Amino acid sequence: MSSASFLDKLATRLGVPRENLAFLERWQPFEGGGWETENIATYNPLNTTQSYAGSYGINSVGVQAFPNEDAGVEATAITLQNGYYPNILRTLQTGNVDPKALEPDIRTWGSNSFADFLLGETGIGGTVGVGTPKTDGAWFGNTWIPGSDKSGPPVVGGIWNGITGAWEFGTGVVDSATAAAQTSAAFFARALKALGWLLDPHHWFRLFFILAGGTMIGIGAYLFVRGDNAVSDIENAGKVAALA
Protein backbone atom coordinates (compact mmCIF):
# COMPACT_ATOMS: atom_id res chain seq x y z
CA MET A 1 0.00 0.00 0.00
CA SER A 2 1.16 3.53 -0.75
CA SER A 3 2.13 5.99 1.97
CA ALA A 4 2.12 9.01 -0.35
CA SER A 5 -1.44 10.27 0.17
CA PHE A 6 -1.32 9.88 3.96
CA LEU A 7 2.01 11.71 4.24
CA ASP A 8 0.93 14.47 1.85
CA LYS A 9 -2.07 15.21 4.07
CA LEU A 10 -0.09 14.90 7.30
CA ALA A 11 2.56 17.35 6.05
CA THR A 12 -0.16 19.87 5.22
CA ARG A 13 -1.87 19.34 8.58
CA LEU A 14 1.40 19.83 10.51
CA GLY A 15 2.64 22.64 8.28
CA VAL A 16 6.00 20.96 7.58
CA PRO A 17 7.91 20.20 4.35
CA ARG A 18 6.68 17.00 2.75
CA GLU A 19 10.21 15.62 2.24
CA ASN A 20 10.85 15.72 6.00
CA LEU A 21 8.22 13.04 6.57
CA ALA A 22 10.50 10.40 5.03
CA PHE A 23 11.54 9.84 8.65
CA LEU A 24 8.05 8.46 9.36
CA GLU A 25 8.46 5.93 6.56
CA ARG A 26 11.57 4.60 8.32
CA TRP A 27 9.57 4.37 11.55
CA GLN A 28 6.35 2.77 10.29
CA PRO A 29 7.65 -0.82 9.83
CA PHE A 30 8.55 -0.93 13.55
CA GLU A 31 4.97 -0.03 14.46
CA GLY A 32 3.30 -1.99 11.68
CA GLY A 33 0.04 -0.03 11.37
CA GLY A 34 -1.64 0.46 8.01
CA TRP A 35 -1.13 3.37 5.64
CA GLU A 36 -4.45 2.33 4.15
CA THR A 37 -6.40 -0.90 4.79
CA GLU A 38 -3.60 -3.49 4.50
CA ASN A 39 -4.08 -4.60 8.12
CA ILE A 40 -6.48 -4.13 11.01
CA ALA A 41 -4.85 -0.85 12.16
CA THR A 42 -6.49 0.90 9.20
CA TYR A 43 -5.14 4.37 8.32
CA ASN A 44 -2.93 4.26 11.41
CA PRO A 45 0.68 3.66 10.29
CA LEU A 46 2.25 4.62 13.64
CA ASN A 47 -0.32 2.79 15.80
CA THR A 48 -1.56 5.82 17.72
CA THR A 49 -4.07 5.19 20.52
CA GLN A 50 -5.71 8.60 19.95
CA SER A 51 -9.37 8.04 19.11
CA TYR A 52 -11.08 10.17 16.47
CA ALA A 53 -14.18 10.26 14.27
CA GLY A 54 -15.63 6.79 14.80
CA SER A 55 -12.37 4.94 15.34
CA TYR A 56 -12.23 1.84 17.55
CA GLY A 57 -9.56 -0.05 19.51
CA ILE A 58 -8.11 -3.20 18.01
CA ASN A 59 -6.08 -4.51 20.97
CA SER A 60 -5.70 -4.35 24.74
CA VAL A 61 -3.60 -1.15 24.70
CA GLY A 62 -6.08 0.78 22.57
CA VAL A 63 -4.37 1.09 19.18
CA GLN A 64 -7.04 2.54 16.89
CA ALA A 65 -8.47 1.60 13.51
CA PHE A 66 -9.83 4.62 11.61
CA PRO A 67 -12.73 4.66 9.17
CA ASN A 68 -10.88 6.76 6.57
CA GLU A 69 -7.56 8.42 5.79
CA ASP A 70 -8.57 11.90 6.95
CA ALA A 71 -9.47 10.58 10.41
CA GLY A 72 -6.15 8.72 10.70
CA VAL A 73 -4.17 11.80 9.62
CA GLU A 74 -5.94 14.01 12.16
CA ALA A 75 -5.46 11.55 15.04
CA THR A 76 -1.77 11.13 14.17
CA ALA A 77 -1.32 14.92 14.06
CA ILE A 78 -3.11 15.36 17.41
CA THR A 79 -0.80 12.76 18.95
CA LEU A 80 2.36 14.34 17.56
CA GLN A 81 1.28 17.76 18.85
CA ASN A 82 0.10 16.71 22.32
CA GLY A 83 3.29 17.98 23.99
CA TYR A 84 5.02 14.67 24.63
CA TYR A 85 7.00 14.57 21.37
CA PRO A 86 8.84 17.88 20.85
CA ASN A 87 11.90 16.26 19.30
CA ILE A 88 9.86 14.31 16.78
CA LEU A 89 8.08 17.51 15.75
CA ARG A 90 11.42 19.30 15.47
CA THR A 91 12.67 16.54 13.17
CA LEU A 92 9.61 16.89 10.96
CA GLN A 93 10.06 20.66 10.86
CA THR A 94 13.79 20.71 10.12
CA GLY A 95 14.46 17.38 8.43
CA ASN A 96 17.42 16.82 10.77
CA VAL A 97 17.33 13.29 12.20
CA ASP A 98 19.28 13.29 15.49
CA PRO A 99 19.00 9.77 16.99
CA LYS A 100 20.07 10.79 20.51
CA ALA A 101 17.59 13.66 20.62
CA LEU A 102 14.81 11.48 19.21
CA GLU A 103 15.37 8.50 21.49
CA PRO A 104 13.35 9.67 24.54
CA ASP A 105 10.40 10.71 22.38
CA ILE A 106 10.43 7.43 20.45
CA ARG A 107 10.53 5.43 23.69
CA THR A 108 7.68 7.52 25.12
CA TRP A 109 5.69 6.59 22.03
CA GLY A 110 6.46 2.94 22.81
CA SER A 111 8.76 2.10 19.88
CA ASN A 112 11.75 0.78 21.79
CA SER A 113 12.90 -1.35 18.85
CA PHE A 114 12.97 1.71 16.58
CA ALA A 115 14.89 3.70 19.19
CA ASP A 116 17.49 0.90 19.25
CA PHE A 117 17.52 0.91 15.45
CA LEU A 118 18.23 4.66 15.37
CA LEU A 119 21.03 4.38 17.92
CA GLY A 120 22.79 1.77 15.82
CA GLU A 121 22.24 -1.04 18.32
CA THR A 122 20.68 -3.21 15.61
CA GLY A 123 21.65 -4.12 12.08
CA ILE A 124 20.90 -1.40 9.53
CA GLY A 125 20.76 -2.12 5.80
CA GLY A 126 19.66 -0.27 2.70
CA THR A 127 15.99 -1.09 3.10
CA VAL A 128 13.66 0.30 5.74
CA GLY A 129 12.99 -2.26 8.44
CA VAL A 130 15.90 -4.64 7.93
CA GLY A 131 17.29 -3.76 11.35
CA THR A 132 16.24 -6.51 13.73
CA PRO A 133 15.28 -5.35 17.24
CA LYS A 134 17.33 -6.79 20.13
CA THR A 135 14.57 -9.10 21.33
CA ASP A 136 13.58 -12.62 20.36
CA GLY A 137 11.08 -12.60 17.55
CA ALA A 138 10.67 -12.55 13.79
CA TRP A 139 9.61 -10.27 10.96
CA PHE A 140 6.26 -11.08 9.38
CA GLY A 141 6.00 -8.82 6.36
CA ASN A 142 6.53 -5.34 7.78
CA THR A 143 5.43 -6.35 11.28
CA TRP A 144 7.85 -7.31 14.06
CA ILE A 145 6.45 -10.07 16.29
CA PRO A 146 8.34 -10.06 19.61
CA GLY A 147 9.14 -13.36 21.29
CA SER A 148 8.82 -14.17 24.97
CA ASP A 149 10.93 -12.40 27.58
CA LYS A 150 12.93 -15.08 29.44
CA SER A 151 14.42 -12.73 32.02
CA GLY A 152 13.30 -12.07 35.61
CA PRO A 153 12.96 -14.10 38.81
CA PRO A 154 11.97 -17.72 38.06
CA VAL A 155 9.07 -17.86 40.52
CA VAL A 156 7.65 -14.43 41.42
CA GLY A 157 8.52 -12.87 38.10
CA GLY A 158 7.56 -16.05 36.32
CA ILE A 159 4.07 -16.09 37.83
CA TRP A 160 3.48 -12.45 36.95
CA ASN A 161 4.83 -12.88 33.43
CA GLY A 162 2.72 -16.00 33.06
CA ILE A 163 -0.44 -14.09 34.01
CA THR A 164 0.31 -11.23 31.63
CA GLY A 165 1.38 -13.67 28.93
CA ALA A 166 -1.87 -15.60 29.26
CA TRP A 167 -3.83 -12.35 29.00
CA GLU A 168 -1.93 -11.33 25.86
CA PHE A 169 -2.49 -14.78 24.38
CA GLY A 170 -6.23 -14.59 25.05
CA THR A 171 -6.59 -11.12 23.57
CA GLY A 172 -4.40 -12.20 20.67
CA VAL A 173 -6.88 -14.95 19.83
CA VAL A 174 -9.77 -12.46 19.86
CA ASP A 175 -7.78 -10.01 17.77
CA SER A 176 -6.93 -12.79 15.32
CA ALA A 177 -10.61 -13.60 14.81
CA THR A 178 -11.29 -9.93 14.05
CA ALA A 179 -8.28 -9.71 11.78
CA ALA A 180 -9.40 -12.72 9.75
CA ALA A 181 -12.37 -10.75 8.45
CA GLN A 182 -10.10 -7.95 7.21
CA THR A 183 -6.67 -9.32 6.31
CA SER A 184 -5.23 -12.82 6.27
CA ALA A 185 -1.71 -11.45 6.80
CA ALA A 186 -2.63 -9.91 10.16
CA PHE A 187 -4.40 -13.11 11.16
CA PHE A 188 -1.39 -15.31 10.47
CA ALA A 189 0.93 -12.85 12.20
CA ARG A 190 -1.10 -13.10 15.39
CA ALA A 191 -1.49 -16.86 15.01
CA LEU A 192 2.29 -17.16 14.76
CA LYS A 193 2.68 -15.16 17.96
CA ALA A 194 0.11 -17.32 19.76
CA LEU A 195 1.80 -20.52 18.56
CA GLY A 196 5.18 -19.26 19.75
CA TRP A 197 3.70 -18.51 23.17
CA LEU A 198 2.24 -22.02 23.43
CA LEU A 199 5.47 -23.73 22.38
CA ASP A 200 7.70 -21.84 24.81
CA PRO A 201 8.45 -24.22 27.75
CA HIS A 202 9.08 -21.21 30.00
CA HIS A 203 5.34 -20.53 29.87
CA TRP A 204 4.56 -24.09 31.00
CA PHE A 205 6.71 -23.47 34.07
CA ARG A 206 4.90 -20.23 34.82
CA LEU A 207 1.46 -21.75 34.32
CA PHE A 208 2.35 -24.56 36.72
CA PHE A 209 3.09 -22.03 39.44
CA ILE A 210 -0.10 -20.12 38.66
CA LEU A 211 -2.20 -23.29 38.99
CA ALA A 212 -0.34 -24.48 42.09
CA GLY A 213 -0.60 -21.05 43.70
CA GLY A 214 -4.31 -20.83 42.90
CA THR A 215 -4.92 -24.25 44.42
CA MET A 216 -3.09 -23.32 47.63
CA ILE A 217 -4.99 -20.05 47.91
CA GLY A 218 -8.30 -21.88 47.42
CA ILE A 219 -7.50 -24.44 50.13
CA GLY A 220 -6.36 -21.69 52.50
CA ALA A 221 -9.51 -19.67 51.90
CA TYR A 222 -11.70 -22.73 52.51
CA LEU A 223 -9.97 -23.54 55.79
CA PHE A 224 -10.14 -19.91 56.89
CA VAL A 225 -13.87 -19.56 56.16
CA ARG A 226 -14.95 -22.94 57.52
CA GLY A 227 -12.68 -22.89 60.59
CA ASP A 228 -13.41 -25.79 62.91
CA ASN A 229 -16.14 -26.97 60.58
CA ALA A 230 -13.48 -27.81 58.00
CA VAL A 231 -12.03 -30.43 60.37
CA SER A 232 -15.52 -31.93 60.85
CA ASP A 233 -16.04 -32.02 57.10
CA ILE A 234 -12.80 -33.93 56.64
CA GLU A 235 -13.67 -36.39 59.46
CA ASN A 236 -17.16 -36.97 58.05
CA ALA A 237 -15.72 -37.56 54.61
CA GLY A 238 -13.42 -40.19 56.09
CA LYS A 239 -16.31 -41.94 57.86
CA VAL A 240 -18.37 -42.02 54.66
CA ALA A 241 -15.42 -43.52 52.82
CA ALA A 242 -14.96 -46.14 55.53
CA LEU A 243 -18.64 -47.17 55.40
CA ALA A 244 -18.48 -47.47 51.65
Domain ranges (residues) in the chain = 1-128, 145-244
* Overall average pLDDT of the 182-194 stretch: 62
Residue 204 pLDDT > 80: no
- Rounded CA gap, 69 and 53, in Å? 11
d(CA 244, CA 239): 9
Q: What is the largest CA-CA distance in the chain?
A: 89
Q: What percent of the chain has pLDDT over 70?
A: 59
Give the Cα separation of 33 and 1 in Å (integer).
Answer: 11
Contacts of 163 (CB under 8 A, 6+ apart): 210
What is the rounded CA–CA span in Å between residue 122 and residue 73? 30
Per the model's pLDDT, the better-predicted residue between 134 and 108 turns out to be 108
pTM here? 0.53
